[in-house]
């Protein structure tokens, strides 16, 4: 295992920056996601108007992978429609499960593609997918 393929520059920046880590005022949706076995615990907040995710943020604690994955996801979904966001969730989880490997198909994930290597680390997969499952839950799709 090459650690530098896991703890990449981009993941470290997202883990440390915290630019998406704040409470929203009057969020339309608040959803908590939790990995009981390791203690990653995030609360996702969304502001939605006319089917568009206008703003999103999170709070909580977790490892670098879960925190970076959440932050990247928030960057990605802001301004997207609910349908587009759900498509992103499906693509991301497909990538981590190694069900989607086609690069063109993965392109919509933008920076989040750096998390692809996590699919080779079974012990950390749930850290990477936590935020995305939480978003799916928040959008009422589970």
Interacting residues toward another protein by CB under 8 A: 1, 3, 6-7, 9, 12-13, 15-16, 37-41, 61-65, 67, 121, 123-124, 127
Least distance from C-beta 71 to another protein, angstroms? Answer: 14
* Least distance between another protein and beta carbon 60 (Å): 9
Contacts of residue 122, defined as CB under 8 A and 6 or more positions apart, other chains included, come to none
| C-beta closer to another protein: residue 7 or 100 | 7
Q: Are strands 29-35 and 52-61 parallel, antiparallel or unpaired?
A: unpaired
User: Which pairs count as long-range contacts for 53-58, CB under 8 Å and 24+ apart, including other chains?
Assistant: 53/77, 53/78, 53/79, 53/80, 53/81, 53/82, 53/85, 54/78, 54/79, 55/24, 56/20, 56/24, 57/20, 57/21, 57/22, 57/23, 57/24, 57/27, 58/20, 58/21, 58/131
Task: Give min distance, CB of 138 to another protein, in A.
Answer: 22
Q: Which of 23, 39 has the CB closer to another protein?
A: 39
Residue 69 Cβ vs another protein, minimum distance, rounded to whole Å: 13
- Which is nearer to another protein, 27 or 62 (by Cβ)? 62
Which CB atom, from 53 or from 65, has the smaller least distance to another protein?
A: 65
């Amino acid at each position: 295992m090459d650690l530098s393929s896991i703890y990449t520059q981009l993941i470290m920046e997202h883990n440390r920056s915290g630019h998406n880590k704040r409470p929203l005022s009057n969020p339309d949706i608040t959803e908590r996601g939790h990995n009981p076995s390791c203690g990653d615990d995030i609360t996702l907040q969304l502001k939605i108007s006319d089917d568009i995710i206008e703003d999103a943020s999170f709070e909580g604690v977790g490892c670098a992978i879960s925190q970076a994955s959440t932050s990247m996801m928030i960057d990605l979904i802001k301004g997207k429609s609910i349908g587009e966001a759900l498509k992103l969730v499906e693509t991301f989880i497909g990538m981590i499960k190694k069900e989607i490997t086609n690069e063109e198909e993965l392109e919509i994930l933008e920076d989040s593609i750096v998390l692809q290597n996590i699919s080779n680390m079974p012990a950390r997969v749930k850290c990477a997918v936590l935020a995305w499952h939480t978003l799916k839950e928040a959008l009422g799709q589970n």
